[in-house]
A and B are shown apart, each in its own frame.
Chain A
Amino acid sequence: QNKITWRLQTYAGAALAEHVLDPAIKMFNQIAGDRMQIETYYADQIVPTGELFQAMQRGTIDAVQSDDDSMASPTEVTVFGGYFPFGSRYSLDVPVLFNQYGLNEIWAEEYAKVGVKHISAGAWDPCHFATKDPINSLEDMKGKRIFTFPTAGRFLSQFGVVPVNLPWEDIEVAVQTGELDGIAWSGITEDYTVGWADVTNYFLTNNISGAWIGHFFANMERWNELPEDLKMLFEVCCQQSHYYRQHWYWGGEARLRVHGEKLKLTTIPDAEWATVESAAREFWEEIAAESDVKRRVVDIFKQYNTDMEKAGRPYRYT
C-alpha cells in the first residue's frame, strides 16, 4: 500500500506556526505513520497567500489553514472570516456560532460549491492595534498605515486608517522600512511571538473583534480519496489545534498585557470607542444587503449576540 502524502500550507509564518499548526500535524504524522504524512509549509512558502485558495482548488496544495478573508476565498462567506468587526466578544463565541448556531452548515455548503472541503472552524486571538506611535483617541488612528485583514481594513478606513496588504512574513521589515505605521492583525500574544512587538511600541487595549475565525480546508478530491479513519484522524487533530489555541491565546493575552515589557498599553475611553461599535452595526447591515447568504450569516451573528446579552454575566458585562 502506498503512503499518502499531503502538502499543507498555512497563512502563518514559521514562528507562529510553531504554536498554531506544527504540534497538531506532528501528532497526525506520528499516529498515521507509514499510511500518511503531511508536509507543512508556512506563509507564502510554496505559493503566495493570495494564490493559496486557487492552489488548493487545483491540488498544488492539498490542505490549507487560513481564514477566509486573507486567502480571498471566492465564497459568499469570505468577509466573515478573519475579523468580522465586533462579531464576537470571546474566543469561545466562535465554536458556539459554528456548532450551535448553524454556521458550520453554511460554510460547508459554500465551500463545497467551489470544490473545497471545509473541515472545521476555530478561534484565534482578538484583534488589536500594535503601533509605533500611541493611539489614545480615534483622532490618533487617522492617516496610520496599518497591516490588517481586508474586511477589517474596509471597516476601519472610515476612521482614517489606511489599510495596507503585504505578505505576512514581510510585515516586520515593512514596519522598519516605513511602509507601515502599525499592525491590526492579532492580539498581543502573536505580537510577541512573531517579533512585531520588537518593531512597535504601543498596544491598544480596545479590540475590533474578540476572536479571529479561521479554518482547516482540503481539496475536495483529495479529501474524498482518504479512508474514513484517516479523515477522522485529521479532523481530530484539527480540533486539537483549535483547542490548543483556545488556552494558548486566552492565557497569553492576559499574561503579556500584565507582565510583557515590550509594548506600552493605551486605551481609547469607552464612550469614544462606542462610536466604533455603532459603526460596526451599520457595517453589518451594509454587508447583509450584499446577498442572501450574507444576510443569513449576519442574522445569526445578531441572534447570537442578543442571546448573550440577555444571558448576562459572565457572557456579557454591559
Chain B
Amino acid sequence: MRGLMRGYIRVADAVNYRLGRIVMYGIFVLMGVLLWSSISKTFFLPSLWTLEMAQFIMVGYYILGGPYSLQLGSNVRMDLLYGEWSLRRKAWVDLFTVLLLIFYLGVLLYGAISSTAYSLGYWKDAPVSYLFGVLTGTEEVGRLEQSSSAWRPYMWPIKVVMIVGFFLMIVQCLSEFCKDVLRLKGEVI
C-alpha cells in the first residue's frame, strides 16, 4: 500500500511539475499578445482577437498552473492556529480538510464537463457519459458553441483546458493526501 502511494505521489507530482514548468512561461505569451494589441492599435487596425485570446491564456495559466502552485505551497492558509501545530497534527487535520477541497474541485470539474458537453452541442443531463461517447465515437458532436464576439472562437477548447486543469488539481490534492498518510505513518517527506 505504501509503495503504491509512493508511486502515485511520484507520478502525479512529476506530471504536474512538468506541466507547471511549461505553463509558467505563459506569462510571456500573455505579454506578447497584449503588446501586439497595443502595437496593432497604434500602427494598424486594432486586432479582433487580442483581448479574448489574452483571457484564454490567463485561464490556461492559472488553472493548468494550479497544481504546480500547490506543490510550491503558494496558496495561503490562515495560520493563526495551523502555524503553531506540529507536523503530525497538521497532517491529521489536512487529511480531512483536503477531502473538502477535493469535493469543491469535483464540483468545479463536473461543471466544466457539463459546460464542455454543452459547447459540443449536447443539452441533456448526462454530460459525463456523453463526453465518453464522443471520445469513443458513439456520440455525435452537435452544434458547436461559439463565443459571442466578432472573432467567434469555438468555446470547447478552453473548456477542455479547464477540465484538464481541474482534474489535475484533484490529482495533486490526492497526492497531498497520500503524503499526509505517509507522514502519519512516520515517513519523512
Contacts and interface: CB of A to CB of B under 8 A. Distances in A.
Nearest to A74: B143
B125 interface: yes
B145 A72 contact: yes
B45 A150 contact: no
Interface string A226-239: 00000000000000
Contacts of A162: 45-48, 150
Interface string A51-63: 1001001100000
B51 interface: yes
Contacts of A145: 41, 46
Interface in B90-127: 114-115, 118, 121, 123, 125
A150 B51 CA distance: 15
Interface in A39-92: 50-51, 54, 57-58, 69-72, 74
A143 interface: yes
A150 B149 CA distance: 5
Chain B contact residues: helix, strand, loop or mixed: loop
B145 A74 contact: yes
Interface string A19-57: 000000000000000000000000000000011001001
Interface string B42-69: 0001111001100000000000000000
A164 interface: yes
A50 B148 contact: yes
B51 A72 contact: no
B34 to A, nearest CB: 12
A150 B123 contact: no
A112 interface: no
B150 A115 contact: no
B147 A165 contact: yes
Size category of the A interface is 20 to 34
Interface residues of B, number: 21
B150 A153 contact: yes
B146 interface: yes
B89 interface: no
Contacts of A72: 145-148
Given A72-B145, A160-B45, A163-B48, A54 B115 contact: yes
Q: Which one of B45, B115, B121 has the highest number of Cβ atoms from chain A below 10 Å of its Cβ? A: B45
Contacts of B143: 74
A179 B46 CA distance: 11
Given A54-B118, A74-B121, A74-B143, A150 B152 contact: yes
Given A142-B45, A163-B48, A179-B51, A150 B145 contact: no
A115 B152 CA distance: 24
Contacts of A50: 147-148
A164 B123 contact: no
A83 to B, nearest CB: 13
Contacts of B145: 72, 74
Contact of A154 (B41, B123, B150): B150
Contacts of A114: 123
Nearest to A165: B149
Contacts of B47: 162
B115 A150 contact: no
A267 interface: no
Interface string A156-182: 010010111110000000000001000
B45 A164 contact: no
Interface of A: 50-51, 54, 57-58, 69-72, 74, 114-115, 142-143, 145, 150, 153-154, 157, 160, 162-166, 179
5 contacts: A50-B148, A54-B118, A74-B121, A157-B48, A163-B150
Given A72-B147, A165-B147, A165-B150, 19 more contacts: A50-B147, A57-B123, A58-B114, A71-B148, A72-B146, A72-B148, A74-B145, A115-B123, A143-B45, A143-B46, A145-B41, A150-B149, A154-B152, A160-B45, A162-B45, A162-B48, A162-B150, A163-B48, A165-B52
